[in-house]
Copies of this chain bind each other. A is one copy, B any other.
Amino acid sequence: MEFQFSNKVEPLKPSAIREIFKSLTNPNVISFAAGNPSPLSFPTDKLQVLANEIFDNQAAFSLQYGITEGYMPLREQVADRLKSKFNTGKDFDDTIITSGGQQAIDLVAKVLCNEGDTVVCETPSFIGALNAFRSHGCVLKGLDVGNDGINPDELEALLKSDKKVKLIYLIPTFQNPAGITMSLEKRKAVLSIAKKYRVPILEDNPYGELRFSGEDVPTIKSMDDEGIVAYTGSFSKILSAGMRVGFLCGHKELLQKVTVCKQTNDVHTNLFFQMLCSKFIEKYGLDDHIKGICDLYRDNCRTMIEQMEKHFPENVKFTRPDGGLFLWCTTPAGTDMQKLIQNFVAADIAVVPGATFMPSADDVTYSFRMNYSMPTKDQIIRGVETMGKVLKKTL
């Protein structure tokens, strides 16, 4: 059978990251390529106790169809937490549960963008979001994420010249893959420009709670006084990635459309695990648990940076994250990236090439992403030392 695919999906290719994951079957490889949270971050014993409580007391309810917007107690807990802890969410907003933050991104794009419309994003950016936008036929225009977020002047110039921009997609805190955080000034400026040009912002914040140094920066959504910002977060990096539970906070009118599309997409998110999240929050709260994850990632990140300072050549630059899962290494302009990555692979090291995160195939980058949540401290020490040798040999 020869298939005629829709225009929007015809050019789509399986993501490079997926292919890298599939190749990670060799147990000798030290992988800094993951996007996964540490399995140590999963509160498995507590989840098991709570799962048994659900089976004992609410089994039939938990296994039956639920409502599309999500399990009401969890929606309220998420909305309360966003409000009380991050001043995020106003009266004109609503909060729904999504099947991971990924579904929130996909559905917001579907609801706001026609084929051929433009989505402004950061360069580099999260491949899962970029591919979601591509799958809706959107044109991606990237603005350099820099050391503290995109340049507001560049954003304004872009919105002035391109009238098809329907969405600004940002990961302001512990950006994936760059590991940087947008400054408060830039957040304010970006929001002000979005309001001026009437373009909604999607603020993607899956890592925001994983701060292990420095001070919290207010979310863009916390400064939104009219509902122009949609905000998505996730339990993937806090309780479990495999359960696929995230959330979307945004203007009621926007969320009504998203809900209709979610209804036709997966009806609702796995109800049992929504209840499990809710029970966990009710019984234990999230703060202590998150603190434990932050301690782990701080330790891993510091080890990685120490080792990189010790072993990497001086002309290799890298970001120094205050939280999240990733840092971003940049080699001198002109580096043969393909050769470098191949040399890493030959030395049993996996990283994700920077090109993966580029909005456009024309974007040139001499960078790669490193993850510090999955490897052990010992793997970080040995792996970075090996990488140092490869870098010195290759550059």
Tell me the A residues contacting B by CB distance below 8 Å.
1-9, 12-15, 18, 21-22, 35-37, 39, 42, 44, 47-48, 51-52, 55-56, 59-60, 62-68, 92, 99-100, 102-103, 106, 110-115, 117, 128, 131-132, 134-135, 166, 198, 200, 226-228, 236, 239-244, 251, 253-254, 256-257, 259-261, 263-273
A242 near B66: Cβ-Cβ < 8 Å: yes
A256 near B14: Cβ-Cβ < 8 Å: yes
A68 near B18: Cβ-Cβ < 8 Å: yes
In the A-B complex, list the 4 residue pairs whose CB atoms are closest, starting with the nearest. A242-B271, A63-B240, A39-B60, A48-B55
Instruction: Find A265's partner among B2, B106, B253, B268 (CB 8 Å cutoff).
Output: B106
A226 near B1: Cβ-Cβ < 8 Å: yes
Residues of B near A51 (CB, < 8 A) are 51-52, 55
What's the nearest-Cβ distance from chain B to residue A86, in Å?
Answer: 20
Residues of B near A261 (CB, < 8 A) are 9, 12, 135
Residue of B nearest to A113 (CB): B6
Residues of B near A12 (CB, < 8 A) are 257, 260-261
B1 near A227: Cβ-Cβ < 8 Å: yes
Bound-state CA distance A49–B39 (Å) is 23
- The winner among A18, A21, A113, A242 for most chain B CB atoms within 10 A is A242
B241 near A64: Cβ-Cβ < 8 Å: yes
- The winner among A42, A64, A273 for most chain B CB atoms within 10 A is A64
Residues of B near A272 (CB, < 8 A) are 240, 242-243, 273
Residue of B nearest to A264 (CB): B132
What's the nearest-Cβ distance from chain B to residue A196, in Å?
Answer: 13
Residues of B near A13 (CB, < 8 A) are 260
Bound-state CA distance A263–B9 (Å) is 13
Residues of B near A7 (CB, < 8 A) are 114
Residue of B nearest to A63 (CB): B240
Given A18-B263, A128-B267, 6 more A-B residue pairs with CB atoms under 8 Å apart are A4-B166, A37-B64, A99-B244, A131-B263, A135-B261, A243-B271
Given A1-B200, A48-B55, A55-B47: A62 touches B242 (CB 8 Å cut-off): yes
- The winner among A18, A21, A227 for most chain B CB atoms within 10 A is A18
A42 near B15: Cβ-Cβ < 8 Å: no
Bound-state CA distance A316–B392 (Å) is 84
A1 near B110: Cβ-Cβ < 8 Å: no
What's the nearest-Cβ distance from chain B to residue A292, in Å?
Answer: 15
B42 near A59: Cβ-Cβ < 8 Å: yes
Bound-state CA distance A240–B271 (Å) is 10
A128 near B264: Cβ-Cβ < 8 Å: yes
What's the nearest-Cβ distance from chain B to residue A317, in Å?
Answer: 29
B14 near A259: Cβ-Cβ < 8 Å: yes
Bound-state CA distance A62–B182 (Å) is 34
B67 near A21: Cβ-Cβ < 8 Å: yes
Residues of B near A264 (CB, < 8 A) are 102, 106, 128, 131-132, 134-135
A266 near B267: Cβ-Cβ < 8 Å: no
Given A55-B47, A102-B265: A9 touches B242 (CB 8 Å cut-off): no
A257 near B9: Cβ-Cβ < 8 Å: yes
